[in-house]
Structure 1
Amino acid sequence: MDEARIRRELREAALAHRPDRARILARVERGTAAPAPAGRRGRPPRPWSGRRRPAAVAVAVAAAVAGVVGLGGLGGLAATTPGDRPAGPATGLPAPGPTARAAGTIDPGGNRWWAQSDLAVTTEAPLAGLTVELRVAQTGGVVSTGHWRTRPAEDFTVTVTEEPRALVYRWTLERGRTVPPGPHTFAAQYDHAEGVRDASADTYTVLLTGSDGGRTTLRGGFGPRGGS
């Protein structure tokens, strides 16, 4: 067997070797803990005969490579113990949003030229954030005449925006203010073309934020009935 072939086979054997790390670790620990026996003489070295024994050489080199790979794997094992691993980024599910419900109705106190849309929002926990948007579809002659809410006026920023297809009322809770649990009403008032107005295209959106950051979104409409 030529030397090149022996080297190739040794390299393949070393790459295919899978050391038993637990056994190697135990052997290393026993070897470092036990003292060498006294009075034991070492075997004198044999004179070199000049001949190579391929099988013996293969076994010896494979054992040496296995020992190196085993110790290397042992070092890698020690370097990746749980206590030494860097902590990964914290992951978790988002906080559940606050429990709430909403219902939109047309106030029965309207008439043939004027109407009021009432949005009742009921919350079961304190809110750190609240945005209420009420969209009154432009059915003809729709013009804002006012608005109100049952919460203190200074707690909210209110805007009324005229869009091509709707009149948009928006109440936004001021930073640092809170909304307690309970029923709350937001109302939009407006003129409209004479007659019974169709409110089927009117909609609302309510975004609620709990004290723990959880969010809930409510959406709905106001039904087909208008002011009489």
Structure 2
Amino acid sequence: MDDTRLRHELREAALAHRPDRARILARVERGLAAPAPGARPRPRARWSGRRWAAVAAVTAAVAGAVGLAGTMATAPPDRPATPATAPLPAPGPAARATATINPGSNSWWAQSDLGVTTGSPVTGLVVELRIARTAGVVSTGHWRTRPAGDFTVTVTEEPGALVYRWTLKEGRALPPGPHVFAAQYNHPEGVRDASSDTYGVTLTAPDGGRTTLRGGFG
């Protein structure tokens, strides 16, 4: 077998899906050791150096091809790129709310107070008090500790509640500290049940972080 044919067969064997290293090396040695048809055997000393150098070169090529084929066979399949993690929203302002019936209320009139305490400046604020429309409940006004010019105030009569809403005007800010928002209303004589009255507060920090508080007067 001539060297060209031998190299060709070795290269094809090396690129096979699962090459057999031992089998390929054995074929190399057998191919180089076998005499050409009709040729006279020559002493080993006259060609062993050149032939064994060829064996070494071809063996190295086979080893490289085997390694390459192994790498190609075990390479992981393409995977979709991991989506970028969305940035977390900014934390909202630290705040708490406390709902009480003002002690100055009487048998015909009441004031529901919502105390809102903030720990940092607030640039957005919506306060909503919902006074359940039990028999005889009629709005008589509202009140707050902050300047009246800082807020837009509405009182809406819904089928089930009187809704008092304070919205901080654009460009104004609420400083840290305690603040009170109050809803005032008449009711039939006696002690009114406030367990169905609720509140909601949404506060927005200068960096856009938002906090929502909800609760009741029960």
Where on the TM-score scale, by shorter chain, does this alignment land: which range? Answer: 0.5 to 0.7
User: How far 1:205 moved relative to its partner?
Assistant: 1.2
Matching residue's letter, 1:177: R
User: How far 1:109 moved relative to its partner?
Assistant: 2.1
Question: After superposition, where does 1:142-221 map in structure 2 within 5 Å?
Answer: 142-221=137-216
Contact 1:132 1:205 (C-alpha < 8 Å) held by counterparts: yes
Match of 1:127 among 101, 108, 122: 122
Matching residue's letter, 2:91: P
| Alignment correspondent of 1:103 | 98
Give the aligned length. 165
Q: 1:11 to 1:107 in 2, by over 3 A?
A: same
Q: CA RMSD in A?
A: 3.3
Gaps of 5+ in 2: 1-7, 20-35, 38-54, 72-82
Distance 1:178 1:158 in 2: 16
Distance 2:172 2:99 in 1: 25
Q: Which TM-score applies when normalising by structure 1? A: 0.60
Distance 2:154 2:86 in 1: 38
Question: After superposition, where does 1:12-161 map in structure 2 within 5 Å?
Answer: 12-13=17-18, 63-64=64-65, 89=84, 91-161=86-156
| Alignment correspondent of 1:11 | 16
Q: Which TM-score applies when normalising by structure 2? A: 0.63
Contact 2:14 2:62 (C-alpha < 8 Å) held by counterparts: no
Gaps of 5+ in 1: 15-48, 51-55, 71-87, 224-228
Q: Which deviations, in whole Å up to 9, do the C-alpha atoms of 1:32-53 show, x marking residues without a partner?
A: xxxxxxxxxxxxxxxxx79xxx
Identity over aligned pairs, percent: 67
Q: 1:59 to 1:202 in 2, by over 3 A?
A: same
Contact 1:159 1:171 (C-alpha < 8 Å) held by counterparts: yes
Contact 1:104 1:221 (C-alpha < 8 Å) held by counterparts: yes
Matching residue's letter, 2:131: V
Contact 2:141 2:183 (C-alpha < 8 Å) held by counterparts: yes
Distance 2:59 2:199 in 1: 82
User: How far 1:193 moved relative to its partner?
Assistant: 2.2
Matching residue's letter, 1:150: T
